Structure 1
Amino acid sequence: MSKQFGWRSRLGGSVSVVAIALGTWLTPAWAGDPFRRENPRNISDTTEQAFEAFFRVGNYPLAAQQVELALSEASVDPILYAMRASLVYLEDPDNLPSEFKDYATLTRSRAEALVNQDPLRGNIYIAVGHFLEGAYALKNEGMVRGVPTALSKLQQVFRHLDRATAVDPEDPELNIIKGYMDLMLATNLPFSNPERPIERLQTYAAPEYLAKRGLAVGFRDLNRFEEAMAAVDRSLELTPENPEIMYLKAQIYVDSGDRASSLPWFDRALAMREQLPAELVRQIQRERDQAQRRVDAEQASNR
């Protein structure tokens, strides 16, 4: 997939990096909060389970079931609408339906209803909602209408993330989302400095497995392959059954020039294809086939 998809296909993550779960890492007060040891928020266990299926396990059919179950609860967390938008996106990234925009707007509106009660998380997900709405405009409205809308939405994203930062600049949930966004921009825009988002992910973001995953993607795109491999190995250690992390490790091998070592990791990811969206499976297979052709050509030239 082309570089413009960068952090969607090649991060093994998704357009919205908006939730994570750890399990026993959490304090008992609100067991559903996947982010915080201290000052946990009232996030339901069902929402946490949906998030675990999405990001820790990388099982998208299970995540879809858990999201729908959590959306039936009396109080719906804005993170759920963001995950639902991401699931729609992953079904066909090149042809976003209006349903994607609907969930993006629900993310923002539910966050706006939360902001007086919890200005930190309210502003985080207002930003996420604007980000998703901007992505829809950029994808579906063409350059003339889409780019100005997306840029306006990006301004709103930064405005609300700044408001969340003013509440608690060291909050793990804020820093996992802001770290991903900032590193994505830093690795795709000229003259950008990636060191600040790298520090953010290394120091403040949680849970660790998702922070390491983001660092692996960023280091890969910066051609810092030794650091990328160390980060992806740690993410794999923490989430050993996630096929997207296996896929990410294969990509790091390819980008570093060691295509032969990538093949077993592509194969391990493909062996778990039932967990993944069909378009992502096709992408993994394409990259695996390309790597195999290069390996075969190199071996033939050395005979």
Structure 2
Amino acid sequence: MTRNFSSPHSIIYSQLTRLAQGSVGVAIAFTLAINPSWAGDPFRTSEPRKIGDNTEAAFKAVFQQGDYPTAERHLNQAISSESNEPLAYAMKASLAYINNDLAGLDNYGGKTLVTGQKLLATDPLRGNIYIAVGHFLEGAAIITREGTLRGAPQALSRLRQVYEYMDRAEAISPRDPELNLLKGYMDLMLSVSLPFANPDEAINRLQKNAAPQYLTNRGIALAYRDLRQYAQALDYSNQAIKAASDNPELYYLKAQILTAQGRQEKSQQLIREAIANFDKALTKKSQLPRQLVQQIERERNSAVNNLNSAGR
């Protein structure tokens, strides 16, 4: 399939890298929820893959508990004991991204690509998926190092390769949950950023073929938030919380939605609910990245100021 990214390429790639910043990277954002009965595979109930105990534990730490230090420890062990699993490298690269560790992003993004290429021989579906992820992470490194305008031409080339290998994976197994989760998130980032794009296809992909469910609900909530359809966004954020109630990032997402809805409807009650959710997220700030904590605190303070101004 041929895609034309030539016109809005800098917007596209900057919006895609926004996902890495907001959700700990494309690779992590699409890979979570643990169910031991799936033989260590967080996506598939049939033909599961064994990804490794430490990589699996890192999944659980990040996306069920929102515990980044614990995830980092498990990933350090995974790098030495599960060196053939590209997801471990992708997660390390994503953590490096949010920690402003450009050397780590370069290193582990490259290893994601190489390990995905090696996996082609035994698992072409996941091999193609993680070659795509590797190209994405390398593109994110280019944008981080060069800036959006200077880095856009190289990043655009990487983005084309991302979709080329995603298309190859889709030709192998169009209903694969891991593929559809990852591709659904990426398509949503494009659809909410470009005025001529329609998010319905991406939302439909997540609803019908992606897994795990709470990450699909999280992605759809993000999409509806950015589309300013706050009632739908709130519904999907609540569904995500129901499935992963220990994750403080989900309460942060809900707080963002309630804040935006409260301002739209001029509702002090919604703003109060938002502040309560910001506070709930911050009860676990010791396990979140520092920059994310600072962002939550800024948004909470803004909501409080909004409430105080409305009460005068």
Normalising to structure 2: TM-score of the pair? 0.89
Q: Which deviates further from its counterpart, 104-113 or 39-48?
A: 39-48
Mapped to 2, the partners of 1:143 and 1:122 lie a distance apart of 28
Which of 153, 157, 167 does residue 152 from structure 1 map onto?
157
Deviation digits for residues 97-124 of structure 1 (CA, Å, limit 9, x no counterpart): 2221111111000000001211100000
Does the aligned pair in 1 maintain the 2:24–2:98 contact within 8 Å?
no
Unaligned runs of 5+ in 2: 1-13, 263-269
Which of 228, 231, 240 does residue 223 from structure 1 map onto?
228
State yes or no: 1:38 paired with 2:53: no
Does the aligned pair in 1 maintain the 2:110–2:138 contact within 8 Å?
yes
Q: 1:149 to 1:15 in 2, by over 3 A?
A: same
Does the aligned pair in 1 maintain the 2:252–2:277 contact within 8 Å?
yes
State yes or no: 1:88 paired with 2:96: yes
State yes or no: 1:50 paired with 2:58: yes
Q: 1:144 to 1:285 in 2, by over 3 A?
A: closer
Q: Which residue of 1 aligns with 2:35?
A: 23
Q: Which deviates further from its counterpart, 43-52 or 136-145?
A: 136-145
Unaligned runs of 5+ in 1: none
State yes or no: 1:276 paired with 2:288: yes
Does the aligned pair in 2 maintain the 1:235–1:245 contact within 8 Å?
yes
Q: Which residue of 2 aligns with 1:65?
A: 73
Does the aligned pair in 2 maintain the 1:13–1:55 contact within 8 Å?
no
State yes or no: 1:197 paired with 2:211: no
- Structure 1: 4+ residue segments shifted above 6 A: none
Mapped to 2, the partners of 1:292 and 1:74 lie a distance apart of 46
Q: Which residue of 2 aligns with 1:171?
A: 176
The residue type paired with residue 48 of structure 2 is: P
Q: Which residue of 1 aligns with 2:127?
A: 122
Q: Which deviates further from its counterpart, 80-89 or 160-169?
A: 80-89
Does the aligned pair in 1 maintain the 2:26–2:133 contact within 8 Å?
no
Q: How many residues align?
A: 290
Normalising to structure 1: TM-score of the pair? 0.91
State yes or no: 1:76 paired with 2:84: yes
- Percent identical among aligned pairs is 45
Q: Which residue of 1 aligns with 2:271?
A: 259
SS of the residue 1:263 aligns to? helix
If each structure's helix is expressed as a fraction of its own residues, which one has the higher value? 2
Q: Which deviates further from its counterpart, 152-161 or 37-46?
A: 37-46
Kindly report the root-mean-square deviation, in angstroms, between the aligned alpha carbons of the 2 structures: 1.7
Q: 1:127 to 1:196 in 2, by over 3 A?
A: same
State yes or no: 1:285 paired with 2:297: yes
Q: Which residue of 2 aligns with 1:135?
A: 140
Q: 1:74 to 1:205 in 2, by over 3 A?
A: closer
Does the aligned pair in 1 maintain the 2:217–2:240 contact within 8 Å?
yes
Mapped to 2, the partners of 1:19 and 1:113 lie a distance apart of 20
Mapped to 1, the partners of 2:271 and 2:112 lie a distance apart of 40
SS of the residue 2:218 aligns to? helix
Mapped to 2, the partners of 1:155 and 1:12 lie a distance apart of 22
